[in-house]
Chain A
Amino acid sequence: MSWMSLFSMASVSEGSPVSASSPLREGEVAEGPCISVEEIHSKTGVKAWFVRATELPLITVHFAFRGGGTQDPVGKEGLGFLLSATLDEGAGSLEARAFQDAVGSEAIQLSFHLDEDYLYGDLKMLTTAKERAVELMALALQQPRFDSEAIDRARAQIVSLLRHQAMDPEEIARKAWRAHAFSGHPYGRPLEGTPETLASLTAEDLRIQHRKLVARDDIKVVLVGDLTREEAEEMVDRLFSGIPEKATLTPVAEITQIPSGSFFVPFETPQNVIRFGYHGLKRDDPNFISALVMNHILGGGVFSSWLYQDVREKHGLAYGVWTTLLPLTHTGILVGGAATRTDHATQTLNLIYENLARMVSEGPDAETLSRAQDYLTGSYILGFDSARKIAKHLLALQLYGLPSDYIQKRNALIRAVTLDDIRAVAKRLLKEMQPLIVTVGQMPKTMLEAK
């Protein structure tokens, strides 16, 4: 840690509003974060959430367009991802270098990223640079250039990223699990594309995809920072008034189940990376909050979870073992993982099974439930201590279709979860279906014998 490292702006996420590593799920408030969210309407009809924060001379704007990787045409996988990588590579009369000079010399942070469901834009600026920041972001949204040189560069960088991913056992496991879980569905296709599909993508493809996704009708916007409500409204207009009114999205099928099974991906590595998962819940499922609490007890809590206590503390088998509840737009998943020595893989998986079975057969006792509720309600406030976290959280609430006053109601929902609710949701998620398991590494002897 140091001056230099503090400035690393590496806030690149997979794009999903809920991070797999955060013990804080969507929303949570303990003694209630005291922030005032104003819902604003710009002249051109774009709605946004605004939080005035004058303590620092900063403005953070997060927004999202519905329709991420699922909108890639078949055979053109990676198109949305390439779009997110080229939107800031030149716009209007500014070619890539000139555009980035303009952004960088004012220390503006302007970026796009994509996940399966959304295309996201992030804009962060010092208040002194707000005119320029808004002008450049509006230009990127309205008049991206898609110059061939920029496309080729971004394409080569994505291919390089794919190569990096192919070296990383965790990434291999993540991708393989998704490919099996969502086979035949857009979620099962590679978000970043493949070298082959990327090679075929053209500027025209990007223009079509840009026209398809970037529109005003279903945009979600959050502004946090040192500006007035009127300034915020004007900023929203300047950013989004020049883009088309309606997106033209391709309908995406719902996923109601995930196949079970066990798959092995051979990879020369000292550990076996295990990933297991089930069909989960969408965010609007009435049992979602119960599942959130159950997940915390099972594998969501950092030091407190059953899996952590058993696999790591008691048996010393893994550095990390976790589960997370991930709601997507067209389905939800409950997924978990661990990494352990090859000869411990079978034992680790057996312990994971035992804990999953225990959640179904016994469930937690009252004290465990109460402790989980204490944590989940008490820690909600920790997600509101910076403009960056507030903006991220408010955008996630909008993407989940939750109202801004959910922040005040959320802890009561956590408190209302009963032991019966936990048992019911455990039965629904963990009992009626078998898990889908992917292991990356070397085949354990026991598995070889079993074959």
Chain B
Amino acid sequence: MWFFYVMRALLRRSALGVWVGIAMVCLSSISGNTQSVGEGVTPGISSSARPLPEFKINLATHKLANGLEVVVLPDHRAPVVTHMIWYKIGSADEAPGESGLAHFLEHLMFKGTPTYPGDVFSKTVAALGGQENAFTSSDYTAYYQQVPKKHLRQMMQFESDRMVNLDLKKEMILAERNVILEERALRVDSHPEAQLEESLDALLFINHPYGRPVIGWTHEIEALDADKAMRFYRTYYAPNNAILVVAGDVIPEEVFKMAEETYGRFSANPSIPTERQRPKEPPLPGLRKVSLADPRVQQESLQRVWLAPSVTTSASEAYALEVLAEILGGGQISWLYRSLVFEQAVALSVSAWFQDFSVDATRFGIYAIPAENIALEVLEERLEQSIETLLEEGLTEALLERSKYRILAQAVYMSDQQARLARLFGSGLTTGQSVEALQAWPQKIAQVTLEEVRKAGRLYLARGKGVVAFLCREEQCSGQKGTEVRAEGGSPNSVEVDESEAPPVVH
């Protein structure tokens, strides 16, 4: 058990999507308040004898006149509240050449307003015994505080003020930009596996801005300034481009009233487009490969990533892929762990992940660590074979039922932590889903059929598609040295990767 999760945690992106935040300390401790009992959503009837676990979501929603959507997730177990504001703006909305701007602005949002100058907001949160942080992904930027419930109104006052009144002074910019360069050095440049992930994304997304790192390329971070940040802020930060999520010991009507009195003070920005238009990925034939050899590498690893539909772009296929990710790589009882770790002993660990919440087409990935003396090519081949075997003959009703059971059980476990539920709704609603779709999710999972899983697997996890990434020690890497990008298979057309899209990888 332990190794699977340690290794999955070590995969720096893992299933967590790609997001970076304002401060290191709280990122993993957002886990919050729990739970909700109430009108529940009962999954459809399963074909098996045992009923599927019942995952209930208790919520209330409201929309302000200025367009702000409010979602309240009541949980009365402790007098605590999690207050989150989510903006439908992320790194994929940045202009070319300005990578890292969404995240840069996220940091600068802590610099104060005329009403609450400097770090008055943060000082107040701390004095109230609250915790706060912020994070940016390719599709959204979010800010949150967790406080004793009586302070909710004050948080809303501060956060709504910060939505429109940010006051940036040029002298603040330099130190904060340096902090972000250190953040990048810490998160990416200090870890060859994280560097490789940047190359992998750049190869998977040739045309779509998901190919750029959320934190930005170093040379582009260095060129960010206050004017660019303020322009981005004025363009995208407004009530009609945000979602307010409040989870905890609250009464929905009171939250709605407080939201009217705070966020309701500000008017909508009608010039924000409701559609998020980004360049789409073309159907590009050929398997793309990238390998990074680095003297720091002690443990080799392999990643196999494919382009896949998100819940937003193709819901039913995405639900099938959620089930497939669990079947393939969910824990030690998964198909791949059984096949590659237990039976063939070619891997020490293997897991699958699917970034199901995404505005545009997204990533489905597998991460594997080879067993001693097993070449990455061998592991890759066995992995492909094992996936094919599953899709051809391995899928059974029993496997399907067990995977659905595990997915829904994990959802029940998750509901012990209310801030995670808040994040679920925030990220779902800022990536183009509706409250209704999120609530219907347990039924949708229960209704996934074997045929849907098989079809989605065959269509999206094909051998000749996507990217293979090898992380290796310098002297190894398939007998070649250095970083190499090449395309093979599928088509006579070779895939040419622009230098600006595929970053040179630091050795």
Chain A contacts to B: CB under 8 angstroms? 1-12, 19, 21-23, 30-31, 33-34, 53, 55-58, 60, 84-85, 88, 96-97, 100-101, 103-105, 107, 109-113, 124, 126, 128, 153-154, 156-161, 163-164, 166-169, 267-271, 273, 301-304, 312-320, 322, 339-341, 371, 374-382, 384-389
B residues less than 8 Å from A271 (CB atoms) = 182, 185-186, 189-190
The answer for the CA separation of A259 and B12 in the assembled complex, in Å, is 35
Other-chain residue from B7, B25, B356 in contact with A302 (beta carbon distance below 8 A): B25
Contact yes or no, B186 A160, CB < 8 A: no
1/0 per position for B299-342, CB-CB distance to A under 8 A? 10000000000010000000000100100001111000010011
1/0 per position for B117-144, CB-CB distance to A under 8 A? 0010011011111111100010000000
**Within the complex, what minimum Cβ distance (angstroms) separates A147 from chain B?**
12
* A-B contact sample (10 more), CB < 8 A, given A3-B424, A163-B299: A5-B353, A10-B14, A31-B79, A55-B35, A55-B37, A56-B416, A302-B23, A302-B26, A302-B126, A382-B32
The answer for the CA separation of A249 and B80 in the assembled complex, in Å, is 42
Other-chain residue from B189, B299, B409, B423 in contact with A164 (beta carbon distance below 8 A): B299
The answer for the CA separation of A58 and B338 in the assembled complex, in Å, is 28
Contact yes or no, B189 A270, CB < 8 A: yes
B residues less than 8 Å from A103 (CB atoms) = 1, 333
Known contacts A22-B29, A167-B192, A385-B34; decide if A371 and B126 are in contact (CB<8 Å). yes
Contact yes or no, A156 B371, CB < 8 A: yes
B residues less than 8 Å from A301 (CB atoms) = 126
Contact yes or no, B34 A56, CB < 8 A: yes
Other-chain residue from A109, A166, A316 in contact with B175 (beta carbon distance below 8 A): A316
Other-chain residue from A7, A30, A163, A339 in contact with B410 (beta carbon distance below 8 A): A7
**Within the complex, what minimum Cβ distance (angstroms) separates A443 from chain B?**
17
Other-chain residue from A156, A164, A314, A385 in contact with B77 (beta carbon distance below 8 A): A385
Residue B417, interface by CB 8 Å? yes
Residue B28, interface by CB 8 Å? yes
27 pairs, CB–CB < 8 Å, chain A vs chain B: A3-B356, A3-B441, A4-B325, A4-B353, A6-B411, A7-B413, A22-B29, A53-B77, A55-B35, A55-B77, A96-B342, A100-B1, A107-B409, A153-B348, A157-B3, A167-B297, A270-B185, A302-B131, A303-B122, A303-B126, A320-B23, A371-B123, A377-B129, A381-B148, A382-B80, A382-B147, A385-B33
Other-chain residue from A56, A107, A154, A375 in contact with B126 (beta carbon distance below 8 A): A375
Residue B464, interface by CB 8 Å? no
Instruction: Pick the most buried of A156, A268, A302: most chain B CB atoms within 10 A of its CB.
Output: A302
A residues less than 8 Å from B411 (CB atoms) = 3, 6-7
Known contacts A12-B2, A30-B148, A378-B127; decide if A105 and B25 are in contact (CB<8 Å). no
B residues less than 8 Å from A377 (CB atoms) = 129
Chain B contacts to A: CB under 8 angstroms? 1-3, 5-10, 14-17, 19, 23-26, 28-29, 31-35, 37, 53-54, 75, 77-80, 110, 119, 122-123, 125-133, 137, 146-148, 174-180, 182-183, 185-186, 189-193, 248, 295-299, 311, 322, 325, 330-333, 338, 341-342, 345, 348-349, 353-358, 369, 371-372, 402, 405-407, 409-418, 420, 423-424, 426-428, 441
Contact yes or no, A382 B131, CB < 8 A: yes
B residues less than 8 Å from A97 (CB atoms) = 338, 342
Closest 9 CB pairs of A and B: A378-B129, A316-B175, A107-B409, A2-B357, A316-B178, A104-B333, A163-B299, A163-B298, A379-B129
**Within the complex, what minimum Cβ distance (angstroms) separates A11 from chain B?**
7
B residues less than 8 Å from A85 (CB atoms) = 2-3
A residues less than 8 Å from B423 (CB atoms) = 1, 6
Other-chain residue from A161, A163, A320, A388 in contact with B3 (beta carbon distance below 8 A): A161
Quick one: closest B residue to A375, CB to CB?
B126
The answer for the CA separation of A11 and B420 in the assembled complex, in Å, is 14
Instruction: Pick the most buried of B9, B127, B193, B338: most chain A CB atoms within 10 A of its CB.
Output: B127
Known contacts A385-B418, A386-B416; decide if A31 and B410 are in contact (CB<8 Å). no
The answer for the CA separation of A377 and B129 in the assembled complex, in Å, is 7
Other-chain residue from A21, A60, A111, A268 in contact with B2 (beta carbon distance below 8 A): A111
B residues less than 8 Å from A387 (CB atoms) = 34, 416
Known contacts A4-B15, A6-B411; decide if A56 and B53 are in contact (CB<8 Å). no
B residues less than 8 Å from A2 (CB atoms) = 15, 17, 311, 355-358, 424, 427-428
The answer for the CA separation of A380 and B19 in the assembled complex, in Å, is 28
Contact yes or no, B348 A268, CB < 8 A: no
Other-chain residue from A156, A158, A382, A385 in contact with B372 (beta carbon distance below 8 A): A156
Quick one: closest A residue to B249, CB to CB?
A385
**Within the complex, what minimum Cβ distance (angstroms) separates A274 from chain B?**
12
Known contacts A164-B298, A339-B182, A340-B182; decide if A386 and B17 are in contact (CB<8 Å). no
Instruction: Pick the most buried of A3, A267, A273, A379: most chain B CB atoms within 10 A of its CB.
Output: A3
A residues less than 8 Å from B126 (CB atoms) = 301-304, 371, 374-375
**Within the complex, what minimum Cβ distance (angstroms) separates A275 from chain B?**
14
Contact yes or no, B1 A88, CB < 8 A: yes
Contact yes or no, B369 A160, CB < 8 A: yes
The answer for the CA separation of A374 and B147 in the assembled complex, in Å, is 12
B residues less than 8 Å from A313 (CB atoms) = 119, 175
Contact yes or no, A56 B415, CB < 8 A: yes
Quick one: closest A residue to B422, CB to CB?
A1
B residues less than 8 Å from A384 (CB atoms) = 78, 80
**Within the complex, what minimum Cβ distance (angstroms) separates B460 from chain A?**
15
Known contacts A1-B424, A3-B411, A8-B16; decide if A374 and B80 are in contact (CB<8 Å). no
Contact yes or no, A105 B333, CB < 8 A: yes
B residues less than 8 Å from A378 (CB atoms) = 127-130, 147-148
A residues less than 8 Å from B415 (CB atoms) = 56
Contact yes or no, B25 A23, CB < 8 A: yes
Known contacts A302-B26, A303-B122, A322-B25; decide if A376 and B129 are in contact (CB<8 Å). yes
B residues less than 8 Å from A60 (CB atoms) = 416
Other-chain residue from A3, A10, A57 in contact with B8 (beta carbon distance below 8 A): A10
Quick one: closest B residue to A370, CB to CB?
B127
**Within the complex, what minimum Cβ distance (angstroms) separates B124 from chain A?**
10
The answer for the CA separation of A85 and B332 in the assembled complex, in Å, is 13
Contact yes or no, A316 B174, CB < 8 A: yes
Other-chain residue from B1, B180, B298, B413 in contact with A166 (beta carbon distance below 8 A): B298
Contact yes or no, B5 A381, CB < 8 A: no
Contact yes or no, B2 A319, CB < 8 A: no
Quick one: closest B residue to A372, CB to CB?
B126
Other-chain residue from A5, A160, A371 in contact with B15 (beta carbon distance below 8 A): A5
**Within the complex, what minimum Cβ distance (angstroms) separates A185 from chain B?**
26
A residues less than 8 Å from B338 (CB atoms) = 97
The answer for the CA separation of A157 and B370 in the assembled complex, in Å, is 10
A residues less than 8 Å from B372 (CB atoms) = 156, 159
Contact yes or no, B5 A11, CB < 8 A: yes
**Within the complex, what minimum Cβ distance (angstroms) separates B81 from chain A?**
9
**Within the complex, what minimum Cβ distance (angstroms) separates B83 from chain A?**
13
Contact yes or no, B298 A167, CB < 8 A: yes
B residues less than 8 Å from A4 (CB atoms) = 15, 322, 325, 353-356
B residues less than 8 Å from A169 (CB atoms) = 190
**Within the complex, what minimum Cβ distance (angstroms) separates B182 from chain A?**
5
B residues less than 8 Å from A9 (CB atoms) = 5, 331, 410, 413
**Within the complex, what minimum Cβ distance (angstroms) separates A318 from chain B?**
5
The answer for the CA separation of A169 and B190 in the assembled complex, in Å, is 7
Contact yes or no, A388 B417, CB < 8 A: yes
The answer for the CA separation of A25 and B457 in the assembled complex, in Å, is 46
Other-chain residue from B128, B175, B248, B299 in contact with A160 (beta carbon distance below 8 A): B299
Contact yes or no, A341 B79, CB < 8 A: no
**Within the complex, what minimum Cβ distance (angstroms) separates A214 from chain B?**
17
A residues less than 8 Å from B311 (CB atoms) = 2-3
Contact yes or no, A314 B175, CB < 8 A: yes
Contact yes or no, B129 A382, CB < 8 A: yes
The answer for the CA separation of A384 and B32 in the assembled complex, in Å, is 9
Known contacts A110-B1, A302-B131; decide if A58 and B416 are in contact (CB<8 Å). yes
**Within the complex, what minimum Cβ distance (angstroms) separates B177 from chain A?**
7
Contact yes or no, A317 B123, CB < 8 A: no
**Within the complex, what minimum Cβ distance (angstroms) separates A82 from chain B?**
11
